């Protein structure tokens, strides 16, 4: 896929005919495809945004001290990462732009390799190609641990689309191998607050910056995190990178040239969101209730759920012989249910579809009822 191919099309455009098919259902379509939040932005966050609305001057690229200190405190409180240097925090305009730009910003280019998960959010691949580097889709450390051309290794845990979680041991193995070849490791942990199964539901999702993973040093390591999912802030484009102070300092200098700055009111909203755990717990309960209802419907329909122990999606396939995901998309569209084709996430995903938990209670209940033949 070259630059022309990237500009010619966008994968999600391909589901338009199936969306039209789903809309023909007598009770309308239930859209479980993209996964955009539908619940209200928490009042505590809205109030912080409004209070900071008078912002005539330029904000700083590195973010306010409040943002950086709040992120460091959040890592200690919620992720088991104590002692994160606030200087090693950088707010970003959502996490997608960070994913797309990071290969370029860490100096990857022609002759370099960017490793990303075998089944993965397409932007990891796109970011590598925009930098002129070569993407390598694999979950096996053995496929790259002896290569001197590996510049960047992406992790995604909990993963989009399939919700699998990497253990402390798995993460530590990646870190050790990357350090041997001099590669940067970046872990996209945007779904970390949404674990459904133990040990992660009670014990938390391990972070790349956890001392059990990092060995007590954040050198060569970055975590990407977004408030879109945990706090219904997709419209705010509120996210951050954190980890290696030297890497973050380089990123700040480059992003100053690019004008990649999070607006001051959004930075204030981030402080409010990351300081308040109550709304996160409430949102987790909402998604958990929807998940239970949708799981019941999916199971009753004879479909199989793989992984999905965390995150905002169910990774679903028909029981029995493998079926191309587009057939499953069509079958569900006939029920008025629109889902995401697994092929969007790489060839290894082509037998599955992704169902999002981000529709309203009424729409999720309607989908479950249709799956059960009601």
Q: Is residue 289 part of a domain?
A: yes
Asked whether the predicted pLDDT for residue 8 surpasses 60, the reply is: no
Mean pLDDT of the chain: 95
Say what the pLDDT of residue 321 is: 85
**Which of the four pLDDT bands, split at 50, 70 and 90, describes residue 11?**
confident
CATH number at residue 32: 3.90.1150.10
Peptide bond before residue 156 is cis, with ω within 30 degrees of 0: no
Mean pLDDT of 169-196: 97
Q: How far apart are CA 177 and CA 187, in angstroms?
A: 15
Q: Is residue 141 part of a domain?
A: yes
8 Å CB contact between 49 and 266: yes
Do 88 and 107 belong together in one domain?
yes
The per-residue pLDDT for range 209-260, each reduced to its tens digit, is 999 999 999 999 999 999 999 999 999 999 999 999 999 999 999 999 999 9
Do 219 and 307 belong together in one domain?
no
Do 10 and 114 belong together in one domain?
no
Do 89 and 225 belong together in one domain?
yes
Say what the pLDDT of residue 219 is: 97
The per-residue pLDDT for range 79-88, each reduced to its tens digit, is 999 999 999 9
**32 Cβ partners below 8 Å, 6+ apart?**
294, 337, 338, 339, 340, 355, 356, 357, 358, 359, 364, 367
Say what the pLDDT of residue 7 is: 53
Q: How far apart are CA 152 and CA 167, in angstroms?
A: 20
Say what the pLDDT of residue 139 is: 96
The per-residue pLDDT for range 307-334, each reduced to its tens digit, is 999 999 999 999 988 899 999 999 999 9
- Full residue range of the structural domain in which residue 333 is found: 3-40+279-371
Asked whether the predicted pLDDT for residue 129 surpasses 60, the reply is: yes
Asked whether the predicted pLDDT for residue 2 surpasses 70, the reply is: no
Say what the pLDDT of residue 30 is: 95
Domain final residue pick, 258, 275, 292: 275
Domain final residue pick, 242, 275, 308: 275
Say what the pLDDT of residue 5 is: 56
The per-residue pLDDT for range 102-118, each reduced to its tens digit, is 999 999 999 999 999 99
Do 58 and 170 belong together in one domain?
yes
Do 331 and 198 belong together in one domain?
no
Q: Which residue do the tokens 């009753």 mark?
A: 300
Say what the pLDDT of residue 37 is: 94
Asked whether the predicted pLDDT for residue 39 surpasses 80, the reply is: yes
Say what the pLDDT of residue 6 is: 55
Mean pLDDT of 33-60: 95
Do 70 and 150 belong together in one domain?
yes
Say what the pLDDT of residue 14 is: 86
Q: Is residue 48 part of a domain?
A: no
Do 123 and 266 belong together in one domain?
yes
Do 306 and 253 belong together in one domain?
no
Do 271 and 285 belong together in one domain?
no
The per-residue pLDDT for range 51-87, each reduced to its tens digit, is 999 999 999 999 999 999 999 999 999 999 999 999 9
Do 96 and 239 belong together in one domain?
yes
Do 93 and 211 belong together in one domain?
yes
Asked whether the predicted pLDDT for residue 4 surpasses 90, the reply is: no
User: Cα 205 to the chain's mean position, in Å?
Assistant: 14
The total number of structural domains in the chain stands at 2
Q: Is residue 319 part of a domain?
A: yes
Say what the pLDDT of residue 322 is: 86
Work out the number of other CB atoms within 10 angstroms of the CB of residue 174: 23
Domain final residue pick, 259, 275, 291: 275
User: Cα 177 to the chain's mean position, in Å?
Assistant: 23
């Amino acid at each position: 896929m070259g630059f022309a191919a990237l500009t010619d099309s966008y994968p999600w455009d391909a589901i338009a005919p199936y969306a039209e098919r789903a809309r023909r259902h007598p009770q309308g379509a239930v859209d479980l495809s993209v996964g955009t939040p539908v619940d209200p932005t928490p009042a505590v966050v809205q109030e912080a945004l409004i209070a900071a609305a008078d912002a005539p001057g330029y904000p700083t690229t590195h973010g306010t001290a409040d943002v950086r200190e709040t992120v460091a405190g959040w890592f200690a409180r919620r992720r088991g990462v104590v002692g994160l240097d606030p200087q090693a925090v950088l707010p970003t305009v959502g996490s997608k732009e960070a994913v797309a730009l990071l290969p370029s910003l860490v100096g990857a280019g022609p002759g370099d390799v960017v490793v990303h998960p075998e089944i993965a959010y397409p932007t990891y691949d796109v970011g590598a190609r925009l930098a002129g580097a070569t993407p390598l889709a694999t979950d096996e450390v053995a496929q790259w641990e002896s290569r001197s051309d590996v510049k960047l290794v992406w992790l995604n845990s909990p993963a989009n689309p399939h919700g699998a979680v990497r253990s402390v041991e798995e993460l530590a193995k990646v870190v050790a191998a990357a350090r041997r070849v001099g590669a940067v490791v970046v872990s996209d942990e945007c779904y970390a607050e949404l674990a459904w199964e133990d040990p992660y539901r009670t014990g938390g999702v391990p972070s790349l910056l956890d001392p059990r993973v990092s060995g007590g040093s954040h050198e060569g390591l970055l975590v990407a995190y977004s408030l879109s999912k945990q706090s219904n802030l997709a419209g705010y484009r509120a996210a951050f990178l954190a980890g290696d102070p030297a890497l973050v300092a380089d990123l700040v200098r480059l992003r100053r040239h690019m004008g990649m700055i999070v607006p001051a009111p959004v930075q204030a909203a981030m402080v409010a969101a990351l300081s308040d755990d109550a709304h996160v717990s409430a949102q987790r309960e909402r998604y958990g209730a929807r998940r239970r209802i949708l799981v019941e419907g999916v199971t009753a329909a004879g479909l199989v759920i793989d992984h999905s122990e965390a995150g905002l999606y169910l990774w679903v396939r028909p029981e029995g012989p493998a079926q191309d995901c587009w057939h499953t998309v069509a079958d569900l569209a006939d029920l008025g249910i629109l889902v995401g084709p697994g092929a969007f996430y790489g060839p290894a995903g082509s037998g599955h579809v992704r169902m999002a938990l981000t529709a309203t209670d009424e729409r999720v209940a309607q989908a479950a009822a249709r799956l059960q033949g009601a």
